Amino acid sequence: MSGPLLLAVDGITVDFDGFKALDTFSMTLDKGETRVVIGPNGAGKSTLCDAIIGRVRPAAGRVLFRGEDLTGLSEQAIVERGICRKFQAPGILAGITARENVALAARRDRSWWQAFGKGIPAEEQASVDAVLERVGLADRAEVKAGELAHGEKQWLEIGMVLATGAELVLLDEPTAGMGPAETSRTAELIRDLGDTRSVIVIDHDMSFVEQLAAPVTVMHQGRFLKQGSVEAVRADPEVISVYLGHSA
């Protein structure tokens, strides 16, 4: 269903003063694949993102991206290799407009000596417009990002992640604070991405997960618990007992 192996998380353990937020966790992701990661609060989903993106150093294990070991690289070096992550809390530059936010993310050459110029190249300009269109912020483009509503900020940040052109996109609870309609739009957005990029989505909203129609990995207490389609996972008694309960 998808291309060659892109990401391999290989037995990583993240230890916080004796508490193992991730415990020899492994997973792989193919090029062009979308994967949903669910699991109880505290299962280690956000920590997984942190480990991939270089925010926390695993005590054991490796993260391989296109076969290259990422362990020990700086955040921006990892971003340069084509991984970008959206945080659980929206991370945007509040002081500049939505468009400028996206434009910054869209810059291909991010070295300081390339910055002594004004504006951005036409082809990047076009991609900025395309991204804004795609996340539905075209008419809010000139608003200061800090003044956007919570949900709009989330979209803007998704837009920024897209604009970086990253091959692997990590979305940690992209629908947090969104209503059903926005959620559907977000799902649509992510499905569109599927052709060109690999995506890892973390969320608790099962209806959203359903709309994504992608394979699901379930985590529990820092470990791998299950993997399968949404339906399979929903029906799994173990998943029901540790996570879903009966209301969902």
- Residues at the site binding ligand ATP, with contacts judged by CB under 6 A: 16, 19, 21, 39, 41-47, 146-151, 177
The residues, ordered by sequence, that sit 6+ positions from 230 with a Cβ below 8 Å of its Cβ are: 36, 206, 209, 210, 212, 213, 214, 216
Amino acid letter, residue 184? S
Q: Does 74 bind other proteins (CB under 8 A)?
A: yes
Q: Which stretch binds other proteins (CB under 8 A): 25-33, 37-45, 59-67, 127-135?
A: 37-45
* Distance of closest approach, residue 22 Cβ to Mg ion, in angstroms: 12
187's tokens: 């799902």
- 3-class DSSP assignment, residue 70: coil
* Distance of closest approach, residue 43 Cβ to Mg ion, in angstroms: 8
Amino acid letter, residue 193? L
* Distance of closest approach, residue 49 Cβ to Mg ion, in angstroms: 8
Q: Does 46 bind Mg ion (CB under 5 A)?
A: yes
* Distance of closest approach, residue 121 Cβ to Mg ion, in angstroms: 37
Site pattern 105..134 for other proteins (x: CB under 8 A) = x-x--xxx--xxxx-x--------------
* Distance of closest approach, residue 48 Cβ to Mg ion, in angstroms: 9
Spatial distance between the Cα atoms of 195 and 26, rounded to a whole number of angstroms: 24
Which residues, 210 to 239, sit near other proteins by CB under 8 A? none
Specify the pairing of strand 216-220 against strand 223-228.
antiparallel
Q: Contacts for 147-151 with beta carbons within 8 Å, 24 or more apart?
A: 148/92, 148/98, 150/90, 150/177, 151/177, 151/178, 151/179, 151/182
Spatial distance between the Cα atoms of 53 and 112, rounded to a whole number of angstroms: 22
Interacting partner of 72 out of other proteins, Mg ion, ligand ATP, none (Cβ under 5 to 8 A depending on kind): none
Residues that bind Mg ion (CB under 5 A): 46
